[in-house]
Structure formats: structure tokens, C-alpha cells
Chain A
């Protein structure tokens, strides 16, 4: 029997390792395209400084990329090691994009990243540029496939449950690929990566300018980051809205929790700018609301009603009642004692099977479920409001602050006065960690907001784990804590060391802090 402790520890381990992995992903996504832009400029203008920029920011890219690779393997392993029932139950659908990600994206990215670093003298200028683009395209393609996989967890289209094989099976590959939830997530996530990459270059370049060193190098880097970052910050907001719209369509419980909507309001519903949600009392205090705003943004109509938490719970209770019938029929089918009539009953209630399975948390025989258990299960379909409400608002607020910073940076770089605006440079420097915070908040909203499901409406989280003991989990979490802490210390040490060294780390003899620049060429 899998205890609640094992489920909680499995979730903790997955959440911690996924958050950790996503410290490295956005910078890879964004910086890879910035490198391509810098190198394109080099190939077009022939100016050496752009090659140096590509190489230097490429060095920092490499330090980050190494940990992205390291922590990415954990993610692939973990479905099997810790979520064995999930892997069986949905591998037929979920495994496919993961395997294609390897074939189509990881190979491309990982084969060419080596040539990016070591091919400068072996490849022609144009070939090397091609390599840089292929690396960037490879990283972004990997985001496509993993977000198709994740999009399916949020909005499980193109698939059907089979009682013979006791799992979800794919019915349409293209439905899976063109899942609106996946598409919206992909563009929002990669734009967030571009913002992260731009902020990284903008902030570090600002630091050089504040220190008055490597001025030309820093100015050119700043301009590219400001332009790319401005476009990305705008698209992250527009496409974030698109992602939110997908949530409205497919995950009403997530939206209700995010917005702290306890009761259904008249359309168009107001947007709660500020409130203190109380999950015990099921109400908000100190609310500040903008009339009509949420209804208009989320439904894109003035008439569509957004259901509140109480209404959604009532709907869930109905589906649980229907799900009980599905679970009972399934058990008879599995025991090979079912007649044709049972099959018909199962087909009629199959869509609610997942809701019936929610009761497995409280009783192994769901037909014996009490009304209290059903009420408890219905209540569990709504994620906790306060954490959802706040993380979402922090993310949005940060997103708008990035748009403002990049707009100003872009404006002053067009006027060529940005290097004199010390307040702007300081703002950029101190903003470096913020895109990471925003990204992690976004993932929290997406994944915590999917609870209590691993596959929304299909497979409850508490049924998804492996049959491990709590001690195994404590052991593996301790191991991850040990390795990941050590790796992060080493990574940050190198990142700071090389950011401080600056372009001098290339050993060309052209940059601040280098001694005897002519030494090498003189030999």
C-alpha cells in the first residue's frame, strides 16, 4: 500500500528537481538565440568584437548549459523511478513526445553545441553560424516537445482509456501536437526564456558600464539585449494572456483558484487586483477589484460566465458519483466477470473514471464511499487558493516590470544615451535574478494548479507513484539535496568568476585586465 507520505515525498522530490532544472533551461533558450544574433552580426559586418561577444557570452552559456544537461537527465529518469504507475498509465501517449524530443531536438542541440565551442578554427564563418543557429533551434525544439507532453497533462486530448490494457492510449497524434494548451504554453515559455537571456546579458553588460570597463563590448551587448528583450517581454505578456485563455477553456479549477473566485460572479467577472484569500473560511478579505476585467480577459466576451469554486465543486461531486459507476464497471471488466451490459455502462461513464479514482485516496472500495468522502474528494479538486493567487500575481507583476525596463533600455539605446543613465544600469543589474523568479512562479501556477491530478481529470496524483518506501524517498531526496547543492555552488562560483573576468577570459589581449597583450602574437 502506498502511503500518503510516499506520495507527498515523491511530489516534493519531483517539484524540487523540476524547479532546479528550470533554473538552467530559460537561459539556454534565450541565450542561444542571442548568440546567434551576435554571430550573425559578426558574419555580416566582419567586426571581430562581435565574434568575441559570441565567444564570451558563449562561455557563460556553456557553464549554464552543463547543468541544464545534468539536471535534465533526472527529469527523464524520474517518471520511471518515482512515478511508475503514471508511466504505465500514460506512457502510450506521454512517452511519444519525450522520445521524439530526444530524436529531433536533443540530438540536434547536443551534437552542434560541441561544434559551436570547438569548431571556430575548423569551420568556415558561415558554417559556424549555421551550427549556432542549429543549436538554438535544437534547444527551442526540445521546448516544443516537452511542452506538448506537459500540455497533454493539462488538457488530455487525442487519447482514450482502454480497459483491456488498463491505460490511456493515443488516438490522434496531431491532436496531441496541436493541443491548444501545449501551443500556448510553448510560446509563453520560450518567450520567458528569451526575456531571461536578454536580462542576463543586459544586467552583466550594465555592470561593466557601471565599472567603466570593456565599454565598447558592453555597449554593443546591451543594445542587442535591449532590442531582443523588448520584443520578448511584449510577447511574453501577449502570449501569457493566450496561455491564460487556454486555462479558462480547459482548466476552470485552476483559474478559479488563481483568481480566488469562491462564488460564481455575473459576467463579465471582475479581476481581483489584491486580496487576502483564506482557504479555511473560503473567502477573501481586503479585496480590490477591477470591474469586468477578468471576464473580458479570460473569456474574451462580455457574456460568458466564469464558474466559481463552489459551483465547480458541485460539478465535481456529480462527476465523482458517475465515476464510482465507472470504477465498479472497470473492476468487473478487469476480473473478466463482466457481461455486455457492464461494458455499455462503463462506456457511458468512462469520461468520469478519473473522478471515481479520486476516492481511492479515502477507500479502496469506491462503491462503499460515504457522502463525506465524496464531499472531501470534490473539495480536493480545487487547488489551494492563497498560493495560487499570490504566485500568479508576482509573476504578472514581474512580467510588466520587465516590459518597462526593456522599453526604457530600448528607448535609451536608440537615443544612444543608455550608458550615461546609471539608474537604468543599476536597475538592469539588480533585475538579473527576477526572470528566474517569474519563471518558477509560472511553473508553480501551472503544476500546483493542476492538482489533485497528474493528468487533469484522468489520473489522480495519489495513484501515480511507484511502490517505494518512505525511507527510499528520504534517501534519494537527501542524495539530490547533496549533489544539487554542490553543483549549484560550483556553477555560481564559475559564473561569477567568468562574468567578473569578462571578455578578458578569451585571452585575446584586447580587453580590460589583460596583461602584455602582444605576448602571444610576438612568439
Chain B
């Protein structure tokens, strides 16, 4: 049996893995949705774009659902506090996601061009709005969120929706939106040819550059004495979780502390630049598969950077810092973490294996001829 402290750390890593799985898998089809109205100039081109992800978007979306479920099971306080606190942001994500299943499945079932164009924009919303909001949410986590716990551990959020839309959080939103769009553009370049592929390549070059510039900008912002959070009491990392049993201070530049004490961690933001620059290079020389791998590495870097900068914090509280949620005190019981660890250990490799098989079975370019030959069955 693994000890509690180890399991708490493992679950921090596993949530990271699930978020990365979401960014790599669902991220690319959200990027494709965002690009859809722009890289497809007519109906058949748009059908090409949609059908590159047609068989896979649904399975990919489960990374998102499972990440949500895993946070519920492993970090119930984070799930409760973040989802209720970010009420309108979560509803905006949810309602934007509504457009995806119906957009994909219903769009080509009616020939009317107005119907199809409406769903194309629906897919655009379903891809871009969640991608933007996830980054905004991460930006706000880095800044700290105004919430506290009552004595019975009822989370109370005291901010407004509009306060979430501050400059730093919006910059983080630009990072995530451009990151997923970049990744989607690389995927599109793999699965298409001709005009659509040419436009996808241009999109990759644009959004890859935007991502790197925005990420660097956010990095400068954080390192130039942006307030971060520090636990000032002694932490018993193996203790039963009680988020109110600690003291926390806000200190300028605190988010740089982990990098200062463990210089090896610079490799994490380094991965963003290495992956992003290589992906740009490969997109430039028309090697889209390698570019896709590169943008996936960049995603690892971006998500990982936010994670290690804040560690052990997951959701700091700006209004009542001691209520801040950390890796140590927002978790489920020892037993549940252990059960869920085994569940994840068994099923995640199986999922990755059959997802890989599914992609292999459906491999190959989606062409205009393919769409015309399968008018009744293609999306």
C-alpha cells in the first residue's frame, strides 16, 4: 500500500496527465473547430475539415469528462469550489460545448447552406470558447481567487464573473486558445491536402508564434514580482486533509520560488519553447507529423509550467489565503486515492492503446473526392 503523501503527489501528476491528454487529444479537435470557418472556404472544404476529426472528436472529448470526474473523485474540494465559484464561466464552457456533438452530427444531414453555415459557426464557438476560458481560469488560479470556507467547509466565492476577465487572465486565455489552435492546425495539415492544407500550415505558423509570444509575456509578468502564495506554517504532508489548518502569505514573486530552489524545473517552461519552436520549424518545412508532436510537447510545457510554479497550491484564495487549496489538503481519503490510482493505472493504458488503434484504422488523408463519394454517410 502506498503512503498517503505519495498518493497525494501521484494524484497531482495524474490530474496533470489527464489535462495534458485533454490538450493533446480534445485540444486538436477544438483547434480544428476554431479554424473551420477560415480554412474551409466552401461547403466541401469544410466537410473535409470536419471529417478529419469526425470519427474521433467524441472519444477525445472524454479526456475532458474524465479529467472532470477525476478531480471530483481525487480533489473534491477543488471540484466543489472551482465549479461553483466560476459558475458563469463553467456554464459558458458547457453551453459552448453543446454546439460540438450536434454541430458534428447534424450539420451535413440537411443540405440548406444557411443550416450548414450556422453549425460551422457553432463548431467554431464550441472549439474556441472553451479553449479561451480554460486559459482564463488558469490565469485566475495563478492570481488567486476570492473564496473562503465556512466552518463546515462550505466553499463561498465572493468575486464576480467580470473580475475573472482581468488582463493577466486574458493573456493566459490567449496562450491556451493559440496553443490549441496551433495544435489543431498541425493536425489538419497531416490529414488534408491542397488548399486546406496550405491554409492550415499558415494558421500553424501564425498561432504557434502567438502562443510563444503570449507565453513569454505571461512568464515575464509572473517573474516581475507578481504576487504568489507561500505556506508559512509547518505542513504535515501525510495528514488528513483540512484546508483551514495552515497559514498562507501572499508574497511578490513567490511563484518563482520553486524554480529558484530547483533549477532543473526550468526544463518545464523550456519544453514550451523547444516544442513550440521545433513545431514552427517543422510546420515551415512541411513536416506536419513532427510539428504535431512539437505542439504536443509545447502543451506539456505550458500546463506543466503553471503546475510547478504553483506547487503545492492548486487553487489559492486571494481573500482568505489560509483557505487556499493545496495538493496536501484538498484531496480525497487515502483509501479513495488508492482505489482511483489503480483504476487509472489499469484503464489509462488500455484507453491509449485502443485510441491509437482507432486512429490507425481511420488513417489517411481526407480528400474532396472522398467526401463526394460518401455524401450520405460523411459528416
Contacts and interface: CB of A to CB of B under 8 A. Distances in A.
Interface of A: 55, 62-63, 65-67, 69-70, 72-74, 76-77, 79-82, 84-85, 87-88, 91-96, 98-104, 106-108, 110-115, 117-120, 122-123, 127, 162, 164-167, 169-171, 173, 334-335, 466-468, 472, 475-476, 479, 483, 487, 490-491, 494, 497-498, 505-507
Interface stretch (B86-94, B253-261, B300-308): B86-94
Contact of B83 (A84, A113, A162, A472): A84
Given A81-B87, A170-B335, A483-B95, 15 more contacts: A76-B68, A77-B91, A80-B84, A88-B154, A96-B339, A99-B340, A103-B344, A103-B351, A107-B355, A108-B354, A111-B56, A111-B351, A119-B361, A466-B155, A475-B88
A352 B111 CA distance: 62
Interface string B313-333: 000000000000000000011
Contacts of B153: 88, 166-167
Of B54, B57, B72, B156, most buried by chain A (CB within 10 Å of CB) is B72
Interface in B97-137: 97-98, 100-102, 104-106, 109-110
A103 B347 contact: yes
Interface centre among A108, A117, A118, by most B CB within 10 Å? Answer: A118
Contacts of B354: 107-108, 111-112
A91 B62 contact: no
Contact of B348 (A80, A103, A171): A103
B65 interface: yes
A169 B333 contact: yes
A447 B139 CA distance: 39
Q: Which residue among A87, A91, A99, A106 has the maximum number of chain B CB atoms within 10 Å of its CB?
A: A99
B66 A102 contact: yes
B16 interface: no
B106 A80 contact: no
A487 B106 CA distance: 11
B303 to A, nearest CB: 19
Contact of B77 (A88, A123, A173, A507): A88
Contacts of A491: 102
Given A77-B90, A88-B153, A92-B333, A107 B59 contact: yes
A98 B73 contact: yes
B101 A70 contact: yes
Shortest Cβ-Cβ A-B pairs, 5 listed:
A91-B76, A80-B83, A114-B55, A95-B73, A102-B66
Interface of B: 51, 54-59, 61-62, 65-66, 68-70, 72-74, 76-77, 79-84, 87-88, 90-91, 94-95, 97-98, 100-102, 104-106, 109-110, 151-157, 240-242, 332-333, 335-336, 339-340, 343-344, 347-348, 351, 354-355, 358, 361-362, 375-378
A435 B343 CA distance: 35
Given A122-B361, A490-B106, A494-B109, A110 B58 contact: yes
A76 B362 contact: no
A490 B106 CA distance: 9
B97 A73 contact: yes
A66 B156 CA distance: 35
Given A84-B83, A114-B55, A162-B333, A173 B339 contact: yes
5 contacts: A88-B155, A98-B69, A115-B358, A166-B153, A468-B84
A472 B340 CA distance: 34
Given A70-B101, A84-B155, A479-B95, A77 B347 contact: no
Contacts of A101: 69
Contact of A117 (B59, B79, B377): B377
Contacts of A113: 58-59
Nearest to B354: A111
A3 B39 CA distance: 50
Contacts of A88: 76-77, 80, 153-155
B22 to A, nearest CB: 11
Contacts of A170: 333, 335-336, 339
A359 B124 CA distance: 49
Contacts of B83: 77, 79-81, 84, 87
B152 A166 contact: yes
A106 B62 CA distance: 6
A320 B152 CA distance: 19
A62 B55 CA distance: 12
Contacts of B336: 92-93, 95-96, 169-170
A472 B87 contact: yes
Contacts of A70: 97-98, 100-102
A2 to B, nearest CB: 9
A505 B97 CA distance: 28
Contact of B105 (A66, A110, A472): A66
A114 B56 contact: yes
B152 A334 contact: yes
Contacts of B54: 114, 117-118
Contact of A118 (B55, B59, B94): B55
B73 A73 contact: no
A95 B66 contact: no
A472 B157 CA distance: 13
Contact of B65 (A76, A81, A169, A490): A76
B101 A67 contact: yes
B358 A112 contact: yes
A87 B79 contact: yes
Contacts of B105: 62-63, 65-66
Given A73-B97, A467-B156, A169 B335 contact: yes
Contacts of A119: 55, 361-362
Nearest to B119: A490
A103 B84 contact: no
Contacts of A95: 69, 72-74, 76, 79, 332, 336
A419 B91 CA distance: 49
A11 to B, nearest CB: 16
Nearest to A498: B109
Contact of B73 (A55, A80, A96, A498): A96
A494 B362 CA distance: 27
Contacts of B355: 107, 111
A80 B101 CA distance: 22
A84 B154 contact: yes
Nearest to B58: A110
Contacts of B51: 118
Nearest to B240: A164
B14 to A, nearest CB: 10
A119 B358 CA distance: 9
A16 to B, nearest CB: 15
B78 to A, nearest CB: 9
B148 to A, nearest CB: 10
Given A107-B351, A170-B333, A171-B335, A69 B69 contact: no
Contacts of B109: 63, 494, 497-498
A81 B351 contact: no
